[in-house]
Amino acid sequence: MTRTVVVIGHGMVGHRLVERLRERDTSGDWQVVVLAEEDRPAYDRVALSSYLDGKSAADLSLVDGGFLADPRVQLRLGTAVTGIDRTGRTVSTSDGSVIGYDALVLATGSRPFVPPVPGHDLDGCYVYRTIDDLDAIRDAATEGRPGVVVGGGLLGLEAANALRLLGMTAHVVEMAPHLMPLQVDEGGGQVLSRLVEDVGLRVHCGTATQSIDGRDGRVCSVTLGDGTVVDTDLVVFSAGVRPRDELAEVAGLERGERGGFLVDERCRTADDRVWAVGECAAVEGRCYGLVAPGYAMADVVVDQLLDEGPGTFPGADLSTKLKLLGVDVASFGDAHGSTEGALEVVYANNAAGTYAKLVLSDDAQVLLGGVLVGDGGAFSVLRPLVGRELPAPPEQLLLPTGSGADTGALPADATVCSCNNVSKQDIAAAISEHGLGDVAAVKSCTKAGTSCGSCVPMLKNLLAECGVSTSNALCEHFRQTRAELFEIVRATGISTFSELVDRHGTGRGCDICKPAVASILAGLGHGHVLDGEQAGLQDTNDRFLANMQRNGTYSVVPRVPGGEITPDKLIVLGEVARDFGLYTKITGGQRIDLFGARVEQLPAIWRRLVDAGFESGHAYGKALRTVKSCVGNDWCRYGVQDSVSMAIRLELRYRGLRAPHKIKAGVSGCARECAEARGKDFGVIATERGWNLYVGGNGGFRPRHAELLAADLDDDELVRLVDRFLMFYVRTADRLQRTAAWIESLDGGLEHVREVVVEDSLGIAADLEEAMRRHVEDYRDEWAGVLADPDKLARFVSFVNAPEAPDPTVSFVEQRGQIRPAPVDLPLPAVPSRS
């Protein structure tokens, strides 16, 4: 006899329960009725902020056509539950229906918590929970204006990122002393604050929102407990959630002490026909705000409905790994070291912006938990080791230079995907039995990696461990590598991202493939980077042809080829800096950087510079930055070649060359190496017989010396080999891969590069040279391109409704006779920004 289960709520957990029931109910005993308050089917709330970064509601949907067409599933959208009669086993709905049930599952989720702050109900206050909420926030957002997010936890930072994606300056207010207090410790929170401030967030920790002030019924500012006043017309509450348990009173069900439907370890209420799952369920009195425990609850209930399996909630893995505003954040196990006798091992590198902590048992043998900020690469290996003996000394697991542990160190029964309770041996068996050949197949077969995605790197490692070579696809939207996409664009003449993804990819793209394709299109001369849809593909810096700084202003870096500059041009730079009130600094690449420009000031600054003969230095782009030089044999008594002239020639030749990563170069006039050429992507050192060419060096976190590619070259031979080297790199390197890493990744390494570039082993040298010739011929200054186009100029405003108005949140203080950004907690600007 067919029975009916009514599921109230169609969020991620409710949908998961229905899916698992339909998968496992092979006899067709259950008919499912799903009642959803929202007018759209279940969607991925974990990826909600991506809705403001190009994804559509359809992209986020968890429901496919097969689900909607299933004759045993009835999905009723926009239908609220108004009553539950447990005696008669019926549910009443807002449309007047009465539905009988044999089993009832409450999956009502949670609602955002809005603190009772004075002014919380003013027009301009929003919550961050649903797609409709995001639509409302998007409609209210004004690009360039400040917005305030109340709450600095996981959801708060997601909301702040949403405002950032809308072009706003986000202020995050958190009562705890540091961000994400539930997930990370104080040390990790401090590093996280610095990293998110570097991308433009304003962080206010250790203070509360005292009041939300209004004018004519609408938000006009927010006052914090420390006296700071933030001028804003948009406030987003993201200070946690509360269980949606209103039906407990209607149904006569007991609540947990802190809310939620009180259920036992089987997720069952006191009524043996009524269960609760997800954020609304208080399992033995405790609510869980993550999706993974909710999925586990869904499986528990399905076990009982089908009289299969253990049917008890196994507890929750509260581990978290995510990327917020480009920053890795992860915590697992006892992240705060609350276990009695626990020991901590901490590695912090403030220069690199990374923090890692392991919590160990009192004998330092068993891993209890940990925190990772800035670099979450070790998470996929460390999390499954919680509660087990360490396979290596803790410092090897933390230090970047350590050998670390890999999937081979994990025992077979270690849980790799906690969201879906999939172990290492489950995945290995699936790979072997079903001949799985890539991560997508593993995800489809085992469900591992289909929820939060933090275990996906581990899936790649397990495939390799099982002898399967994995895909080098650029991202989920393109199965091709970056190099393959470059060749497709070059061969077909495709000139837009939309055409490329329609013909050779899937979906709408993401923050991986969009900038990568933008770079390819720019590198192949398909117009200005802000032409048409290309503008929307760019990263923030490329979008404004300037580098965004920590206080929301921009730095302007004009090109100074080879570091050589006339007195007249020096005077112009000084006058521009003085007239616009900018901070000036000479960079390590022999250029002058002008800091503190507001977005609406950029075109006026560029006009002054372009009129004086300057052009963009591409400090914002993945492109050639500088060719540093010493003074050479014109002035130096040790110089043997004219290094300045060669540096100018090379910089003017390769300016504007878009590449997988930034490119830096240097030319030294003798072996004393004053231009530090061997620390560059390509470096040139003079000899008495000509030039030596070195490639594959870089500074940064992992400095590397360049290696000799060819020796004793004359001027034209040198340029010809650099042409070939750079174009070979541009065509074949992966996204965001510096020349050093690219060379290491090639079979044969430097020797292979020498064979292709110097010896022309592939017969492509002439083609590489011709491609570079076209680049040189087609080069146009990007700043001048904006100044000549009214449509492009219209993008450079702080406020679209007041184009000339300065951003009042930008303020400075004086230091050593120049400005610097005011501290974020400074209530009033000490030095006003100049118009």
828 has pLDDT over 50: no
The confidence band for 407, taking pLDDT boundaries of 50, 70 and 90, is: low
Picking from 801, 823, 803, 799, the residue whose alpha carbon sits closest to that of residue 811 is 823
Question: Residue 832: beta bridge partners?
Answer: 811
138, 168 contact by CB (below 8 A): no
Q: Which residue has the higher pLDDT, 30 or 551?
A: 30
Position 79, amino acid: T
Question: Residue 73: beta bridge partners?
Answer: 32
3-state secondary structure 758-786: CCCCCCCHHHHHHHHHHHHHHCCCHHHHH
Instruction: For helices 154-165 and 131-140, give the axis angle rounded to 10 degrees.
Output: 50
Six token digits for residue 708: 């000799």
Give the pLDDT of residue 834.
Answer: 44
Which residues have C-beta within 8 Å of that of residue 130, sequence separation ≥ 6?
38, 45
355, 320 contact by CB (below 8 A): no
Domain range 3-110+243-305, CATH architecture = 3-Layer(bba) Sandwich (3.50)
114-239: what CATH class? alpha beta
Give the pLDDT of residue 299.
Answer: 92
Six token digits for residue 51: 């809705």
832 has pLDDT over 50: no
Highest mean pLDDT range out of 66-70, 317-321, 343-347, 701-705? Answer: 343-347
d(CA 285, CA 283): 5
- At 113-128, the pLDDT tens digits run 999 999 999 999 999 9
Task: Provide the 10 A C-beta neighbour count for residue 516.
Answer: 25
Exposed/middle/buried for 163, CB within 10 Å: 0-12, 13-18, 19+?
A: buried
- For the chain, what is the mean pLDDT? 88
Cα-based angle 614, 615, 621 (whole degrees, multiple of 5): 145
Percentage of the chain exceeding pLDDT 70: 94
Per DSSP (E only), the strands in 380-491 are: 415-417, 422-423
Q: Does 319-405 carry CATH code 3.30.390.30?
A: yes
Give the pLDDT of residue 833.
Answer: 44
Taking the domains of the chain in order of start, what are their residue ranges?
A: 3-110+243-305, 114-239, 319-405, 408-470, 482-538, 623-780
772, 656 contact by CB (below 8 A): no
Give the pLDDT of residue 403.
Answer: 36
Give the pLDDT of residue 404.
Answer: 42
d(CA 4, CA 578): 76
d(CA 282, CA 521): 53
Of 453-457, 501-505, 695-699, which gets the smallest average pLDDT? Answer: 453-457
Q: What is the mean pLDDT of residues 11-23?
A: 94
Give the pLDDT of residue 725.
Answer: 97
Q: What is the mean pLDDT of residues 765-785?
A: 94
Q: What is the mean pLDDT of residues 38-50?
A: 87
Six token digits for residue 294: 């909710």
Dihedral over alpha carbons 762, 766, 769, 774 (to 10 degrees): -120
d(CA 556, CA 599): 11
d(CA 407, CA 455): 11
Q: What is the mean pLDDT of residues 259-275?
A: 95
CATH of 623-780, one of 3.30.413.10, 3.20.20.100, 3.40.1440.10, 1.10.287.1060: 3.30.413.10
Handedness of CA 390, 395, 396, 398 (dihedral sign): positive
Give the pLDDT of residue 439.
Answer: 76
Q: Residues 342-349: contacts with CB within 8 Å, 24+ apart?
A: 342/368, 345/394, 345/395, 345/398, 346/187, 347/395, 347/398, 347/399, 348/187, 348/191, 349/400
Cα→Cα distances 613→522, 558, 789, Å: 23, 10, 19
- Classify domain 408-470 at the CATH superfamily level: BFD-like [2Fe-2S]-binding domain (1.10.10.1100)
Give the pLDDT of residue 409.
Answer: 64
Cα-based angle 18, 19, 22 (whole degrees, multiple of 5): 85
Six token digits for residue 787: 């100044």
296, 316 contact by CB (below 8 A): yes
559, 591 contact by CB (below 8 A): yes
Residue for token pair 């992507």: 681
The confidence band for 827, taking pLDDT boundaries of 50, 70 and 90, is: very low
Of 349-353, 510-514, 595-599, which gets the smallest average pLDDT? Answer: 349-353
Picking from 201, 94, 129, the residue whose alpha carbon sits closest to that of residue 550 is 201
3-state secondary structure 25-77: CCCCCEEEEEECCCCCCCECCCCHHHHHHCCCHHHHECCCHHHHHCCCEEEEC
d(CA 253, CA 8): 15
Highest mean pLDDT range out of 306-310, 505-509, 829-833? Answer: 505-509
470 has pLDDT over 80: no
Position 28, amino acid: G
Per DSSP (E only), the strands in 71-208 are: 73-76, 81-85, 90-93, 98-100, 103-106, 110-112, 125-127, 146-150, 169-174, 202-205
The answer to whether 319-405 and 408-470 have equal CATH topology is no
Give the pLDDT of residue 391.
Answer: 81
pTM of the model: 0.56
Six token digits for residue 176: 């705890």
Q: What is the mean pLDDT of residues 523-537?
A: 84
204, 825 contact by CB (below 8 A): yes
Which residues have C-beta within 8 Å of that of residue 484, sequence separation ≥ 6?
none
Helices vs. strands in the chain: H and E counts, helices first:
27, 40
